């Protein structure tokens, strides 16, 4: 980011860290949506959607490994010009607590920290996603049991039947004891996960919130518990580091090309494959971010089109009907519109006949309609149910 909001020096702002942390989730949502759109025309892509956790984790494994190897930052952090630095704290007995920040030294990431960073960025989110799926499965099973009263009917039974789909019904009933033990163990493990996952999730979210709050208050340099466990600070990359990153990548790739072994034709094929891989990795960040914006735009476009198509057609209101004409044999209208046509006096308790719209005194029109069953002016048929009191006489 080219601007800083409350940031000091190399320390990223809270908003930069939050945006970098939320980017993988946005990327996954965009990829899932795009695959869902393509699956409408290519049904075989539904198999990829069935294993979306594995597909996305494999993609992020490649991106995170390449990013940490070349830039010492995660995929999303490198987009915001951030770098991970190992924290080295030198204890000093002669410095006060206010000067403790002067004893913190940053250095490049060690190999162990890079490997653990990949584990925290890829493996732990994958495990969390699977645990969340198991928890939802157990919760739905408990809800189904509470609604239908079948305590022994669980989704695990359905999973077991699906796994044994190629076996006949008689063979399922005569399954071995080992299979029953494995099934019971699987149920117990899922039950334990369903009971423990809410506490694990709440603890993780609480720790993350506490670290983020402390980071926002400038009370710690670690944005999350994972970074604290790794002993890693996230810092802004300097201009020199950004310029040196390209030369660093070139050196790494030249060493990889020098390690190629085999005959000349095999080396040529390997060089072509490496060049294609390097080109893909170089444009992976830009391509994925462009894909996110593109598919979000397409989602908005098609959603707007669907809303326009499904929205009911709004027609202009029809013109009011023409006013009823005074009948030839009817009572003529007085010149003064405030007078009652029946008694020729100022209207008292004005009431309207709904079939014609003319206003009379309530007592006059009630007596007339009760006797003649019609409007006195237009001679249109009317009953006392068509008389409405008016509380504002015009």
pLDDT, one tens digit per residue, over 291-312 is 667 766 766 776 665 566 666 6
- What's the average model confidence in pLDDT over 125-133? 89
Is the model's pLDDT at 2 over the cut of 50?
no
Mean pLDDT, range 20-43, rounded to an integer: 79
Domain ranges of the chain: 1-89+109-149+186-240, 327-393
How large is the average pLDDT for residues 174-188?
73
The Cα 345–Cα 361 span in angstroms is 9
* 38 has pLDDT over 60: yes
Angstrom distance (rounded) from CA 150 to CA 152? 5
Contact 349, 363 (CB under 8 A): yes
For 324, residues 6+ apart whose C-beta sits below 8 A from its C-beta are 356, 357, 377, 378, 380
| Per-residue model confidence as pLDDT tens digits over 322-338 | 878 888 888 888 888 88
Gyration radius of the chain over CA positions: 38
pLDDT mean over 197-219:
90
Residue 337 three-state SS: coil
d(Cα 268, Cα 252) in Å, to the nearest integer? 19
Q: What is the pLDDT of residue 72?
A: 82
For residues 346 and 2, which has the higher predicted lDDT (pLDDT)? 346
The average pLDDT across 269-278 equals: 77
Q: What does the pLDDT read at residue 388?
A: 92
- Checking if the pLDDT of 125 tops 70, the result is yes
Res 99: pLDDT? 45
What is the percent of the chain where pLDDT is above 90?
A: 15
| Average pLDDT of the residues in 53-61 | 87
- Region 351-374: mean pLDDT is 92
pLDDT beyond 90 at 365: yes
What is the mean predicted confidence (pLDDT) over 277-281? Answer: 72
Given a cut of 50, is residue 12 above it in pLDDT? yes
Which residues face 352 on adjacent strands? 359, 388
Q: Give the C-alpha separation, 208 to 266, whole Å.
A: 50
Token digits for 7?
Answer: 């940031």
Do residues 348 and 361 touch, judged by C-beta distance below 8 A? Answer: yes
User: Average pLDDT in the 132-153 region?
Assistant: 75
> How much is the average pLDDT of 279-294?
69
Please state the rounded mean pLDDT for residues 221-239.
86
Give the model's pLDDT for residue 7: 44
Q: Is the pTM of this model over 0.85?
A: no
Q: Where are the beta strands (DSSP E) in the chain?
A: 82-89, 104-107, 232-236, 350-353, 359-361, 387-389
User: Of all residues in the chain, what percent carry a pLDDT higher than 70?
Assistant: 75
Average pLDDT for 366-374: 92
Average pLDDT in the 84-112 region? 65
Residue 157 has what pLDDT? 47
Domain 327-393 class?
alpha beta
- Higher pLDDT, residue 207 or 10: 207
Residue 266 vs residue 161, higher pLDDT:
266
pLDDT band of residue 162 (cuts 50, 70, 90) is very low
Q: What is the mean pLDDT of residues 275-289?
A: 70
Reference 274, options 255, 247, 248; nearest CA is: 255
Q: How confident is the model at residue 387 (pLDDT cuts 50, 70, 90)?
A: very high
Higher confidence at residue 163 or residue 236? 236
Nearest to 72 by CA among 106, 105, 109, 107: 109
């Amino acid at each position: 980011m080219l601007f800083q909001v409350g940031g000091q020096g190399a320390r990223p702002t809270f908003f930069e860290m939050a945006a970098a942390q939320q980017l993988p989730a946005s990327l996954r949502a965009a990829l899932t949506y795009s695959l869902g759109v393509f699956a409408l025309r290519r049904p075989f892509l539904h198999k990829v959607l069935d294993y979306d956790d594995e597909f996305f984790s494999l993609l992020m494994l490649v991106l995170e490994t390449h990013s940490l190897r070349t830039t010492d930052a995660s995929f999303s952090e490198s987009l915001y010009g951030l770098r991970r630095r190992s924290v080295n704290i030198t204890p000093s007995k002669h410095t006060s607590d206010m000067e403790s920040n002067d004893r913190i030294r940053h250095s490049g990431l060690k190999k162990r920290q890079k490997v653990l960073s990949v584990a925290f960025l890829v493996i732990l989110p994958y495990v969390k996603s699977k645990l969340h799926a198991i928890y939802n499965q157990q919760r739905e099973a408990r809800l189904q049991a509470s609604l239908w009263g079948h305590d022994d009917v669980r989704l695990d039974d359905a999973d077991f039947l699906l796994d044994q789909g190629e076996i006949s019904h008689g063979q399922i009933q005569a399954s071995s004891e080992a299979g029953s033990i494995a099934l019971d163990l699987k149920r117990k493990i899922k039950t334990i996960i369903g009971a423990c996952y809410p506490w694990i999730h709440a603890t993780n979210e609480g720790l993350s919130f506490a670290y983020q709050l402390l980071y926002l208050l400038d009370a710690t340099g670690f944005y999350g518990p994972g970074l604290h466990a790794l002993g890693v600070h996230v810092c802004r990359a300097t201009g020199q580091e950004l310029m040196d990153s390209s030369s660093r990548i070139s050196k790494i790739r030249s060493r990889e090309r020098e390690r190629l072994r085999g005959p000349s034709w095999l080396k040529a094929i390997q060089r072509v494959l490496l060049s294609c891989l390097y080109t893909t990795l170089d444009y992976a960040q830009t391509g994925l971010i462009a894909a996110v914006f593109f598919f979000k735009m397409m989602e908005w476009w098609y959603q707007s089109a669907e809303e326009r198509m499904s929205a009911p057609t709004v027609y202009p209101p029809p013109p009011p009907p023409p006013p009823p004409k005074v009948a030839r044999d009817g009572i003529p209208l007085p010149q003064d519109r405030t007078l009652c046509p029946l008694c020729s006096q100022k209207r008292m308790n004005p009431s309207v006949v709904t079939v014609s719209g003319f206003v009379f005194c309530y007592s006059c029109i009630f007596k007339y309609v009760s006797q003649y069953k019609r409007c006195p002016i237009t001679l249109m048929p009317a009953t006392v149910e068509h008389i409405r009191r008016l509380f504002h006489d015009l």
